């Protein structure tokens, strides 16, 4: 019995010594190979919202924090945090945040089920990207219109976009301008616009007038009346579609009044 106890104590002692040595080695290795982190980077990361949405163009909030700390990205780069977060980061970096314009996603299509025509009734996988493999790129007659199968809805981490009557619609107050929906839309229908934009062309069709009217009752026909009557020269018509320069637009509303198809929101 005594021999067994001695063996057990010896084994325990050996295990203890091994554990102690291993702990000392790991502690030494941790100190020897640790990566120094800029305190500013840690502080900036603490200010960021932690959504890791990628809307800033970096691989998550930690990536953006590192870039800002190194001076490679502006302090107001985070679209989710907005002005409040930009001001906090600016204080850490000792710079001015600068005036920022809040932006939101906007779907450039008004072709609802009632207003846009369809060539056939589709039954199958409800995913916008999958429409590339079906006849005509989808059932809608307008090949530029919103397909309404919600790829953008699935991509939005903030529940800010939903399909209403066949067209994706953005909730401005929920949108954080992360650009996930923009990347998800195979038609390229979504863009970022100022939150308080007075007027926006709600169409993306590049077809000529007659083809547009045959496909949708509210499509832009590229007539140019909006551009001709804009007093601030804020509208141009290219590829049969009108575009409003939000930096020039004064919100007078003349373009919306003159548009014969009423496609300017």
**Predicted local distance difference test score (pLDDT) of residue 3:** 61
From 175, 172, 170, select the one nearest 79 (Cα to Cα).
Answer: 175
Q: Please, are residues 118 and 137 in contact by the beta-carbon 8 Å criterion?
A: no
From 78, 124, 118, select the one nearest 102 (Cα to Cα).
Answer: 78
Distance, CA of 175 to CA of 158 (rounded, Å): 7
Average pLDDT over the chain, rounded to whole? Answer: 86
pLDDT in tens, 99-150: 667 889 999 999 999 999 999 998 888 899 898 888 888 999 999 999 999 9
**Predicted local distance difference test score (pLDDT) of residue 27:** 64
Distance, CA of 123 to CA of 88 (rounded, Å): 50
pLDDT in tens, 47-102: 888 888 877 878 789 888 888 888 888 888 888 888 888 888 888 888 887 766 78
**Predicted local distance difference test score (pLDDT) of residue 151:** 95
Distance, CA of 196 to CA of 233 (rounded, Å): 19
Backbone phi, psi, residue 192, to 5°: -90, 130
Report the topology of domain 102-196.
Alpha-Beta Plaits (3.30.70)
Please say if the pLDDT value at position 193 is more than 60. yes
For residue 74, give every residue at least 6 positions away whose Cβ sits within 8 Å of its Cβ, in sequence order, or none. 68, 98
Do 39-93 and 102-196 have matching folds? no
- pTM greater than 0.85 (yes/no): no
Q: Which CATH number fits domain 198-265: 3.40.50.620, 3.30.70.20, 3.10.310.10, 2.40.50.140?
A: 3.30.70.20
DSSP 152-191: HHHH-TTS-EEEETTEEEE-TTT-----HHHHH-TT--EE
The continuous run of DSSP H or E covering 235 comes out as: strand 235-238
Q: Please, are residues 56 and 79 in contact by the beta-carbon 8 Å criterion?
A: yes
Tokens representing 58?
A: 């970096």
- The CATH class that applies to domain 39-93 reads mainly alpha
Pairing of strands 190-194, 103-107: antiparallel
Please report which residue ranges of 34-118 form alpha helices under DSSP H: 39-47, 60-69, 82-93
Distance, CA of 156 to CA of 241 (rounded, Å): 27
Distance, CA of 265 to CA of 255 (rounded, Å): 10
For 186, counting Cβ atoms within 10 Å of its Cβ (0-12 exposed, 13-18 middle, 19+ buried), the class is: middle
From 120, 133, 117, 132, select the one nearest 207 (Cα to Cα).
Answer: 117
**Predicted local distance difference test score (pLDDT) of residue 6:** 64
- Domains of the chain, residue spans: 39-93, 102-196, 198-265
The continuous run of DSSP H or E covering 30 comes out as: helix 2-33
């Amino acid at each position: 019995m005594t021999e067994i106890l001695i063996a057990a104590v010896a084994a325990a002692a050996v295990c203890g010594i091994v554990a102690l040595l291993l702990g000392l080695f790991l502690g030494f290795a941790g100190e020897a190979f640790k990566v120094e982190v800029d305190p500013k980077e840690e502080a900036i990361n603490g200010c960021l919202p932690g959504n890791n949405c990628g809307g800033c163009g970096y691989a998550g909030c930690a990536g953006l924090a590192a870039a800002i700390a190194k001076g490679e990205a502006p302090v107001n780069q985070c679209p989710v945090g907005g002005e409040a977060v930009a001001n906090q980061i600016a204080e850490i970096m000792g710079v001015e945040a600068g005036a920022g314009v809040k932006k939101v996603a906007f779907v450039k299509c008004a072709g609802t089920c009632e207003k846009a025509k369809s060539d056939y009734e589709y039954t199958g996988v409800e995913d916008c990207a999958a429409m590339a493999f079906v006849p005509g790129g989808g059932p809608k007659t307008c090949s530029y219109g919103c397909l309404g199968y919600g790829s953008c809805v699935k991509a939005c981490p903030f529940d800010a976009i939903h399909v209403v009557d066949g067209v994706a619609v953005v909730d401005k107050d929920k949108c954080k301008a992360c650009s996930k929906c923009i990347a998800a839309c195979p038609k390229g229908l979504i863009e970022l616009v100022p939150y308080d934009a007075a007027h926006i062309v709600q169409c993306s069709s590049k077809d000529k007038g007659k083809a547009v009217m045959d496909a949708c009752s509210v499509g832009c026909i590229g007539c140019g009346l909006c551009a001709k009557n804009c007093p601030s020269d804020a509208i141009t018509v290219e590829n049969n579609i009108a575009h409003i320069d939000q930096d020039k637009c004064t919100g007078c509303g003349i373009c919306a009044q003159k548009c014969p198809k009423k496609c300017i929101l």
